[in-house]
Amino acid sequence: MAIGIIDYGLGNLQSVHNALDFIGAENFISNDIEKLKKADKLILPGVGAFRDAIEMIRDKKMDSLLEEVSALGKPILGICLGMQLLFEHSYEFGTHKGLGLLEGDIVKLDVPLKVPHMGWNKLDIIKKAPLFENLPEESYVYFVHSFHLETGADIVSATTFYGKDIQIAAQKEHIYALQFHPEKSGDVGLQILKNFVNL
């Protein structure tokens, strides 16, 4: 039951790898499409700018990989920028087309508070979701972001309050998206990753 961590050139690969090692989950980091296809589940991490990331993904044909794996019903987890890439469009420094595996857009965080939003915020679970099983009633998770999800689709599973309610987690069937960093969110984040491993 190996989890493939997609290396497309931008991402917090090592911290995700270390967190999965810590919970005893077999995993590997790779940019080899054939190897990634054989994984039971995929994680799409990411830090940096949307435009650079989506260009790298398309250059390396990782978009086709994700479409193919999604069509097979294998679980995919997007983290932070990786989460944003799963959606239709981003408006970070222009308009950029995303992978379109989930419905929604990525927009600038427009709040009367410090941006980027960095630090711990409460996870407000608004819909029962497999990733949020066995979490404490008051759960806090770690964020670093200047853009966020905006969708009217019935896929949002959690929000947080940072100047306003922000959509921070979504799920449609076997595709999972988290704006926060579970690999940097202590015991709560490790439980979320365990839940993904155990799907």
- In terms of C-beta density within 10 A (0-12 exposed, 13-18 middle, 19 or more buried), how is residue 155 classed? buried
Active site annotation includes 96? no
**Please, are residues 186 and 193 in contact by the beta-carbon 8 Å criterion?**
no
C-alpha angle 122/127/131, rounded to 5°?
70
Give the C-alpha separation, 39 to 45, whole Å.
Answer: 16
Active site residue 88: no
Quick one: tokens of 152? 């009217």
- The active-site residue, picked from 17, 92, 96, 183, is 183
Q: By C-alpha distance, which of 175, 109, 110 is closest to 143? A: 109
Of 80, 96, 117, 145, the catalytic one is: 80
Residue 55 is a catalytic residue: no
User: How far is it, in rounded angstroms, from Cα 129 to Cα 125?
Assistant: 8
H helices of the chain, in order, are 13-22, 33-37, 50-59, 62-71, 81-85, 186-197
- Residues labelled as active-site residues: 80, 181, 183
